[in-house]
Structure 1
C-alpha cells in the first residue's frame, strides 16, 4: 500500500511541476536549424515559402490558438518562440518560427517525454494551413 501512495505522490508532484516549471528563453528561443521538412517522435520541422510577411501572418494565427503565449522574440525581431500548453495536463510545447527571406523556418517540439503522438506536427500543420 505504501508503494501505491508513493507512486501517487510522485505522479501528482510531476503534474504540478509540469504546470509551474519555468521556461528558459535562452534554452528554447534559438534559430531553428531547418533545411528540410521532417517529423521526429517529439518534434517537427517545416520550411514554408511564405513571402516576407510570413512571420507576421504566422504570429496572428499562433496567437489565436488557445493556451498559446509568446516566450521570447517578436515579429520585428524576425523570430518568435511560442509556448502552447495542453488542455488537460498543461504540458508545454515550444514552437519557434524564424523568417529567413521569403522562407519561414518552423521548429515545434515537446519539453517533456520522448513521444508527442503527432501533437506538434498537427499544430504546426494547422498553423501553416491557416496562412
Structure 2
C-alpha cells in the first residue's frame, strides 16, 4: 500500500516526494543511511503511516518511525552509539510494546522490517521475532 503522491523520482528528472525526503532524513537522524533500506520498504512504511488518515502524516510523525526502523536494522549496540542511552531506551520500549500488542503502527513497522529482512539478528534472537502464518 503506497500513499498516493509518493514518488522516488524518474531518471533524475523528477525529485523525490516530500514524504520520502522526510523519512530519509529521519533514518539519517537515527544513524541509518537511507540507502540501506529499500525504496519499497520506505514506500510501504509511508503507506502504513498514512493508513486511515485523510491528510498526509505531519512532519513530526517521521522521526519516531525512522528511529524504530533504524533500531531494527542497526541492533541495540550500534543504535546506542548513534543515538545515546535515552533514545535507545525509548525506542527499545516501543519495540517491546509493539511486540506485546501485536498491532498498531509500530508493530506494522517491525513486521515490515522483518519481511524486508532488515531486522538485526541480535534483535530477532533476543525477542524471538518472527511472522506467524495465518
TM value normalised by structure 1: 0.28
Asked which structure has the greater CA Rg, the reply is: 1
Q: Which has the higher strand share?
A: 1
Question: Which structure would you say has the larger RCO, counting Cα contacts within 8 Å and 6 or more residues apart?
Answer: 1
Q: Which has the higher helix share?
A: 2
TM value normalised by structure 2: 0.27
